[in-house]
Structure 1
Amino acid sequence: MSRSIGRSVVAAVVTVGVVLGGAGPAHAIADGDPVPDGRYAFSVKLTMTGIPTASGGRRDSACSGALIAQRWVITAGHCFRDANNVRVDRPVADLTTATVGRTDLTDTGRGIEAEVIAVRQSPTADVALAELSVPVRRIRPIRLSTKAPELGDIVRVTGYGSTTSVNPAPVTRLRTGQLTVVALSEPVVGLHGYAPQPDTTPCPYDSGGPYFAEHGHRGPALVAVVSNGPSCPHTATENGARIDNIVPWIREVLRDVH
């Protein structure tokens, strides 16, 4: 699933899994930059095949995410919804695959693929944790920020989503851009596009992608995940689901290993 009302696209609507098709402009995340090979290797592409629909059919979709432990990926909670559009604590598709550490999705010699075997939904935020069938050992997970973002902070986002809300389709190469924090509430951080353009923003299929602060040698720290926003590209406010205030819940889930 991707994004719109949650940067996901359903059927032909910009909201959870549209039929994949249509090409976008040269840049993605909207008006973002391509990521160099191997950079931000914690970034994850989630591919869902065979999601039940209310009419009894099946659809395919995709989300973005980030590796936070060897067997756990963080993403948006709305990426796992049943046929009634209700968030659930389980994979909803016939097959959900996480691709980790593959900047160019066509380069199958890099990175790792693993099936999502379990899901945990945050009780307070649009955040889900997806457990992988095998551990990812050679890629460093992103660390979790325990500090609330501040107004004016600049954060980076990565994602495998579309470049536009018009005929959205996921890209095959990881993209990135920067946004600035303009608002803060208990579950949500509000962001505006910053670089490389004022309308650099997430798009459909970027749902769950990581917003992170960059701290030089300390490495990136996860601040939020892509949740929802207007049709992209745009210069209005994006909403990210905050991470800092649910870190205790995240750590509790990570300790609850099968």
Structure 2
Amino acid sequence: MKSLSKFLVALTATVVAGAVSTPAHAIADGDGVPDGKYEFAVKIDDIGIPTADGSKRNSSCSGGLISPHWVLTAGHCFKDENDKRVSRTVADKTIATIGRADLKGKAGFTANVVEVRQHGDADVALARLDKAITAITPLKLNRKKPTDGQKLRLAGFGLTSGTAKKTASRLQTGQFEVTSVRKIELGVEGIAPRRTTSACPHDSGGPYFTDAKPAVVVAVVSRGPRCPHSGADTSTRVDAIAPWILSVVGADLKPKPTPSKTRPAPTKVAAPQKQVSEPTPPLLWIAAIPLVLLVGALLVWSLRPRKGIHRRR
């Protein structure tokens, strides 16, 4: 009887847990993403998170690159040992992997998260990287109010089922539809590849985005029922908090001026002009003719022999 009672208690707890809305972190009944696609997707690994009993644990979240230094993710991805959201890194080391659909591969980039900003009201945080990721096109921020029936795509690095022990080693994706629009949140429901396509543990912070180029991030994974499931998950609207996001990352979105590659035109040096001697004025020659004739006549006269005069030998 005792064994039966324990079994019934455990079963009841499982059923209740499945009915309660819990933080969502990954995609069940989705598709694997091929290499080189959705490179803006980010996996955030927290190594050495302090716990209330003094020990440490590891965890992970998903996110999306929105500027060279900043990743958009869920606020509850950064909680202290008292389970309170904080505007700082909480683990011994927090590593972001960007542009790597296959986590076993070497594509993309890794960077350390060195700063965290919490929105406060919305379940959204911004994580700053210690180096700029400029080789990947970041997500654009949605500025328009979403509409019922709008189609979105989700990409995340979480579990693929509620009973999985390890997160997926390959980025997962699925298609979703907006089912409700509230002040700062959306209801989103999976539609492909299955009706049970849904966010799972460790997909928290994953971006719901449009398939346009460049992709536009419309919402961020926040919470939902146990996965996989049909029905809606809850996400945070990006357009509702875009002014706050831009107040933090705005300067990082501006392109840096690049030095001009054109060389200045060489200064032209005037070629030295040849000095031309001025011709002697013709009048000077005319004036000199009488003098020359006079000198010549005197010379001839002085050399002419004279009568009665004998030269010495």
SS in 2 for 1:249: helix
Q: In 1, are the aligned partners of 2:140 and 2:215 still within 8 Å (CA)?
A: yes
Deviation at 1:169, TM superposition (A): 2.0
Contiguous gaps of at least 5 residues in structure 1: 9-27
- The answer to whether 1:145 aligns with 2:142 is yes
Deviation at 1:256, TM superposition (A): 6.7
Larger helix proportion, structure 1 or 2? 2
1:253 alignment partner, one of 236, 248, 256: 248
Runs (4+) of structure 1 exceeding 3 A deviation are none
Q: In 2, are the aligned partners of 1:168 and 1:204 still within 8 Å (CA)?
A: no
**Equivalent in the alignment of 1:51:** 49
1:7 alignment partner, one of 19, 24, 28: 24
- Pairing of 1:34-113 with structure 2 (within 5 A): 34-108=32-106, 110-113=107-110
Deviations 1:194-246 (A, max 9, x none): 0000010110010000001223xx42110011100000000021001111111
Q: In 1, are the aligned partners of 2:137 and 2:214 still within 8 Å (CA)?
A: no
**Equivalent in the alignment of 1:23:** none
**Equivalent in the alignment of 1:25:** none
- Find the aligned partners of 1:33 and 1:90 in 2 and give their Cα distance: 33
What value does the CA root-mean-square deviation take over the aligned residues? 1.3
- Find the aligned partners of 2:80 and 2:143 in 1 and give their Cα distance: 31
- Find the aligned partners of 2:131 and 2:238 in 1 and give their Cα distance: 24
- The answer to whether 1:232 aligns with 2:227 is yes
2:123 alignment partner, one of 117, 123, 126: 126
Q: In 1, are the aligned partners of 2:159 and 2:203 still within 8 Å (CA)?
A: yes
- Find the aligned partners of 2:191 and 2:178 in 1 and give their Cα distance: 10
TM-score (norm 2): 0.72
Q: In 2, are the aligned partners of 1:47 and 1:61 still within 8 Å (CA)?
A: yes
SS in 2 for 1:202: strand
Larger strand proportion, structure 1 or 2? 1
**Equivalent in the alignment of 1:31:** 29
- Find the aligned partners of 2:241 and 2:165 in 1 and give their Cα distance: 31
Contiguous gaps of at least 5 residues in structure 2: 1-20, 253-313
- The answer to whether 1:190 aligns with 2:187 is yes
- Find the aligned partners of 2:88 and 2:250 in 1 and give their Cα distance: 18
Deviation at 1:105, TM superposition (A): 0.5
Deviation at 1:76, TM superposition (A): 0.3
Aligned residues: 232
Structure with larger RCO (C-alpha < 8 A, sep 6+): 1
**Equivalent in the alignment of 1:175:** 172
TM-score (norm 1): 0.87
Q: In 2, are the aligned partners of 1:97 and 1:114 still within 8 Å (CA)?
A: yes
- Find the aligned partners of 2:53 and 2:164 in 1 and give their Cα distance: 22
